[in-house]
Amino acid sequence: MGYDRHTVGSFWASFGYAAHGLWWSYQNERNLRVHTVVGAFALAAGLLEHISADHFLLLIVMLVLVISLEIVNTAVEAVTNLAHPDIHPLAGLAKDLAAAAVLWAAFGAAAVGVWVLAGRLPLLPARITAWADVTPQGLAALAAGLTLVTVAAFVRPRHPPEEADGDH
């Protein structure tokens, strides 16, 4: 089998399409941003609490699962709306099932997070203040960072979503 420039080009182009989908999802899907922020807090808590590598990997796997299913849910909604723009019981069922998969994974991720971090969470505020140097500037920087991350999770972009490219 020889070198096929078209195949290699398509291979690399697929990464661009995936990046576009990921970017679009983060810009337009509030729940994806919320899951990302909650997951980031869980990972940060894991780092601050020095959890084992196995437990940290488990948190990462659960975060990736929830985010991946949220993106699949968005795709199911888009395809369902395209295929059947009118209200139809089966279209609603398809959307409900995709949303249920995300919800189930989020419950699982929450259970794993509680299992991994529950005994350590009462100590977390002390570790955070120690990390922030317990100076007014350190605490202000920490509060500003938490506020920015939280607002970014809930604020919707002002521009309307652009139509998806039809060339792939």
Nearest to 45 by CA among 156, 103, 126: 126
Alpha carbon of residue 36 to chain centroid: 4
Distance CA 67, CA 132 (A): 29
Contact 55, 118 (CB under 8 A): no
Q: Is 70 known to be catalytic?
A: yes
Burial class (CB in 10 A: 0-12, 13-18, 19+), 158: exposed
Q: Where are the alpha helices (DSSP H) in the chain?
A: 5-28, 30-48, 53-83, 89-117, 124-131, 136-154
Among the listed residues 29, 49, 70, 163, the single catalytic one is 70
| C-alpha pair distances (Å), 45 with each of 22, 76, 129, 131 | 25, 33, 13, 12
82 HSE (CA, 13 A, CB side): 9
Q: Which residues are catalytic?
A: 70
